[in-house]
Amino acid sequence: MARQNETGPVRLPERAADAHKGTFGRVLVTGGSVGMSGAACLSATAALRGGAGLVSVAVPKSIQPIVASYEPSYMTIGLPCCGNGLLSDVTVEDVRHLVADKDAIAVGPGLGQSKQVADLVLSLFRESACPIILDADALNVVAGYEMLGRVDSSSPCILTPHPGEFTRLTGLSTAEVQGHREDSARDFAEKHGVVVVLKGARTVVTDGARVFVNSTGNSGMATGGSGDVLTGIIAAQIGQGLPLFDAASLAVYVHGRAGDLAAAEMSERGLIASDLLRFLGAAWRELDNDLTD
């Protein structure tokens, strides 16, 4: 088993001086629901702050105006919804339109756990040729509807569970997961042919052969929305051309470093997820300087 250096990722995506917005990747974030619009907003904005050139965020039409008003730099796509504002059936044609020309797809933040969500996740895998990041509610529907075998043989995939979500995916107890974080994540990744990002203190990233254990971050990041930010950063690195394991390792590291910089100013107690967006620029600058010295 190879272990990547814990002090930081090996490389950053290249940014040529003559590049254009298409050069840096077309990212799709699919998420949000009534009462959970912030999750999609945080994830999509993080993809932009992660360096993606073009970001689209697909949300139920009922919350599209809210999401569109949060950040003018991403595009929004309205998904069909029921009278109660929740996601309804999304057609194959809708999904084909969503995934066309995308370089990375993130699905799950705030999306809900209905049968319609499960169908959407499956359809994204069937219709997309690009890597997919499963987070939050997408992980819950994969576990709840026993869909893992139908997605792990499809598009290249990153799963980003916290320990509770990982227990639902694996059937292990929380104590077993937390007591053997590296081994349980590595075994799962190897069995299913995916990259696992097992979140928490010293987040573990593994593709079943290599393991990266993160050294950045602090307790202030244990707050709602922090994982949504991470998902967007991962998607941006894939969109810029990094392999999945490298993309996830880099994203985890810089996400934690943004948290450390934010905590130095805001305190760990006072830190909220949107602070991470504010400090990502400083974290990237620091990392750029470290790798060019």
Confidence of residue 155 (pLDDT cuts 50, 70, 90): confident
- Residue 6's pLDDT band, with cuts at 50, 70 and 90, is low
Instruction: Specify whether the CB–CB gap between 283 and 236 falls below 8 A.
Output: no
Alpha-carbon distance values, 26 to 104, 171, 228 (Å): 7, 35, 18
For residues 14 and 233, which has the higher predicted lDDT (pLDDT)?
233
Averaged pLDDT for residues 110-137: 95
Report the residue count for the chain: 293
Q: Which residue has the higher pLDDT, 147 or 28?
A: 28
- List pLDDT tens digits, range 41-50: 999 999 999 9
Predicted confidence at residue 151, as pLDDT, reads 78
> How do residues 102-115 score in pLDDT, each as one tens digit?
999 999 999 999 99
Residue 2 confidence (pLDDT): 47
Mean pLDDT, residues 182-207: 97
Among the listed ranges 8-12, 19-23, 124-128, 155-159, which one has the minimum average pLDDT value?
Answer: 8-12
Going along the chain from its start, the domains and CATH numbers come out as: 19-292 (3.40.1190.20)
Q: Is the pLDDT of residue 143 over 70?
A: yes
The angle, 0 to 180 degrees and rounded to 10, between the axes of the packed helices 226-239 and 244-266 is: 140
Lowest-confidence pick of 28-32, 153-157, 225-229: 153-157
User: In terms of pLDDT, which residue wins out, 150 or 237?
Assistant: 237
pLDDT of residue 292: 64
Q: Is the pLDDT of residue 152 over 80?
A: no
